């Protein structure tokens, strides 16, 4: 892994010792197999114990890990014949929010998602996954295109939030997000959203107002980042860990609150340790929900989706 989280260091030390012993064994007569097995067992046990009791702040760190599968990885693993579509037809192209047409298990679909990028240059090009108004207007255009041709919409959420810059505000950031949410609620085709990393504020909701909202086990979804919350409440960003606990941003919290529909389990040690396994599990979950949703009439889908979101927070919410 290119990035090691603080709480993973004891695990990494054991895994490092295992590698050292294996190197010593290569090309020599030393028999260290028993010691290697003992250390591997300790490392596996420590990994399991650590990830079984992650705090909300530690989950936030895992959700932001740069080695987690990104939008492009899900497209490569799950979508065949993907054709990217660009531009909002009003201002320009936004590479923080990507979209296009492809085939998911033989079914034509429209795919949308935030892309953060990996290396520094790539991250800057994708604006760290923070979309501008043209990104959300592109999403609206592509969702309407999907509706016109009867294509289900699959969205992948991974953003700290919409771009907060002055120029984005001048071009109508809030209005663009609102229009995207409105479009999600109005579509007559199935929409399945998956929170794969960070689900930050309106920038996430713009693509996640869906029939089904799935969330990876160690992803987060919140109205504001822990750092932003701490800066507002305590005027001290160092209280981010405390804020993370108060925000109820984990998948487990959100499922209990009825704000998401399913938690997709991550491989032991997080998605950043086994990207291929993670994308495969997400694909299975999407396929299951898509089969159910495609049996419904478009008008029924839209009505049920609206009822779902109107009921959130009410006494009658599920």
Considering the domain architecture, whether residues 224 and 127 belong to the same structural domain is answered as yes
Mean pLDDT of 14-18: 82
Does the pLDDT at position 316 exceed 70? no
Place 39 in a pLDDT band, splitting at 50, 70 and 90: confident
Does the pLDDT at position 79 exceed 70? yes
Closest CA to 191 of 148, 159, 143, 158: 143
How does pLDDT run across 113-123, given as a tens digit for each residue?
999 998 899 99
Does the pLDDT at position 162 exceed 70? yes
Count of structural domains, the chain: 2
Does the pLDDT at position 318 exceed 50? no
Share above pLDDT 90 across residues of the chain, in percent, rounded to a whole number:
79
Does the pLDDT at position 112 exceed 90? yes
Q: What is the CATH number of the domain that holds 161?
A: 3.90.226.10
Considering the domain architecture, whether residues 37 and 71 belong to the same structural domain is answered as no
Place 129 in a pLDDT band, splitting at 50, 70 and 90: very high
Residue 88, CA distances (Å) to 18, 163, 178, 315 in order: 52, 16, 15, 39
Position 297 scores a pLDDT of 93
Does the pLDDT at position 98 exceed 70? yes
Mean pLDDT of the chain, nearest integer = 92
Does the pLDDT at position 317 exceed 70? no
First-last CA distance in the chain: 40
The domain of 160 spans 60-311
How does pLDDT run across 59-72, given as a tens digit for each residue?
999 999 999 999 99
Considering the domain architecture, whether residues 41 and 87 belong to the same structural domain is answered as no
Does the pLDDT at position 229 exceed 80? yes
In a domain, 1, yes or no: no
How does pLDDT run across 240-260, given as a tens digit for each residue?
999 999 999 999 999 999 999
Q: Are strands 79-84 and 97-104 parallel, antiparallel or unpaired?
A: antiparallel
pTM above 0.85, yes or no: yes
Position 16 scores a pLDDT of 82
- Minimum mean pLDDT range among 185-199, 286-300, 303-317: 303-317
In a domain, 129, yes or no: yes
In a domain, 267, yes or no: yes
In a domain, 316, yes or no: no
CA distance 113 to 102: 13
Beta strand spans in 190-274 (E): 191-200, 212-216, 220-222, 262-264
In a domain, 176, yes or no: yes
CA distance 177 to 133: 7
Considering the domain architecture, whether residues 155 and 96 belong to the same structural domain is answered as yes
Position 182 scores a pLDDT of 97
In a domain, 231, yes or no: yes
């Amino acid at each position: 892994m290119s990035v090691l989280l603080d709480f993973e260091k004891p695990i990494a030390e054991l895994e490092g010792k295992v590698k050292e012993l294996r190197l010593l064994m290569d090309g020599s007569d030393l028999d260290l197999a028993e010691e290697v097995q003992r250390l591997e067992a300790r490392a596996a046990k420590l990994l399991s114990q650590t990830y079984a009791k992650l705090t909300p702040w530690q989950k936030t760190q895992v959700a932001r890990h740069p080695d987690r599968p990104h939008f492009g990885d899900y497209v490569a693993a799950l979508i065949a014949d993907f054709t990217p579509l660009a531009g909002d037809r009003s201002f320009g192209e936004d590479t923080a929010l990507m979209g296009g047409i492809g085939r998911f298990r033989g079914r034509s679909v429209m795919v949308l998602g935030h892309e953060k990028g990996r290396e520094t240059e790539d991250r800057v090009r994708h604006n760290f996954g923070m979309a501008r108004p043209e990104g959300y207007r592109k999403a609206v255009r592509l969702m309407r295109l999907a509706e016109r041709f009867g294509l289900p919409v699959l969205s992948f959420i991974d953003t700290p939030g919409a771009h907060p810059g002055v120029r984005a505000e001048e071009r109508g950031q809030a209005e663009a997000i609102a229009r995207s949410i409105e479009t999600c609620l109005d579509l007559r085709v199935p929409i399945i959203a998956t929170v794969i990393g960070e689900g930050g504020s309106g920038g996430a909701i713009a693509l996640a107002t869906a029939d089904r909202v799935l969330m990876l086990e160690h992803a987060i979804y919140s109205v504001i980042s822990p750092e932003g919350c701490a800066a507002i409440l305590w005027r001290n960003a160092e209280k981010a860990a405390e804020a993370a606990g108060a925000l109820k941003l984990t998948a487990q919290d959100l499922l209990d609150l009825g704000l998401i529909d399913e938690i997709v389990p991550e491989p032991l040690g997080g998605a950043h340790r086994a990207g291929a396994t993670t994308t495969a599990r997400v694909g299975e979950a999407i396929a299951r929900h898509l089969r159910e949703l495609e049996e419904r009439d478009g008008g029924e889908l839209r009505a049920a989706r609206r009822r779902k979101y109107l009921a959130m927070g009410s006494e009658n919410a599920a």
